[in-house]
Amino acid sequence: MVVPFSGGCACGAIRYQCSADPVFSWNCHCRDCQRASGSAFCPVLYVAKATLTLTGKSRYYDVKAESGNQVSRGFCPECGSPVFIQAELVPDLQGLWAASLDDPSQFQPLVQVWTGSAQPWDCMTPTLQKVEKAPTAAQMQKLLTPRG
């Protein structure tokens, strides 16, 4: 991605800027992401919290994800756009919904997870590896290894 990059919610009340490349990015097809998005999956990039600058106030909704892990979903109280995800699994990272980016074409998912929960009308990227449920510790380690 071109850094720094920026984004925000639909009404502009929430804005963020990030000064470093995402740590990892994926499309999650779990039921919880389906409900939170109203759609087939959640395209999300995770960045180090230390590299993120925020303006505006978001509200958080805590949910036990399909994995059993606690996930906090941040959205704009004005326009309702989903913008942030905080996952217990990766406490130092902040998830950003891909479509909240000012330039969403920059999003590069590395893997598709929870494909076992995907709907028959879901469209997946054929070139991306599918993980049926949550990634294993080994798969997670591989995703977290810095690239390039």
Q: Which of 30, 90, 131, 134 binds Zn ion (CB under 5 A)?
A: 30
Q: Is 143 in the site for Zn ion (CB under 5 A)?
A: no
CB 114, min distance to Zn ion, A:
6
Q: How far is it, in rounded angstroms, from Cα 13 to Cα 31? A: 28
C-alpha closest to that of 45 among 26, 18, 72: 26
The torsion of the CA quartet 101, 8, 146, 30, rounded to 10 degrees, works out to -80
CB 131, min distance to Zn ion, A:
11
What backbone phi and psi angles, to 5 degrees, belong to 132?
Answer: -65, -40
Q: Is 28 in the site for Zn ion (CB under 5 A)?
A: yes
In the complex with Zn ion, the residue whose CB is nearer, 78 or 88, is 78
Contact window for Zn ion (CB under 5 A) among 8-16, 96-104, 124-132, 134-142? 8-16
Q: How far is it, in rounded angstroms, from Cα 147 to Cα 136? A: 19
Task: Please report, as ranges, the residues that interact with Zn ion according to CB under 5 A.
Answer: 9, 11, 13, 28, 30, 33, 76, 78-79
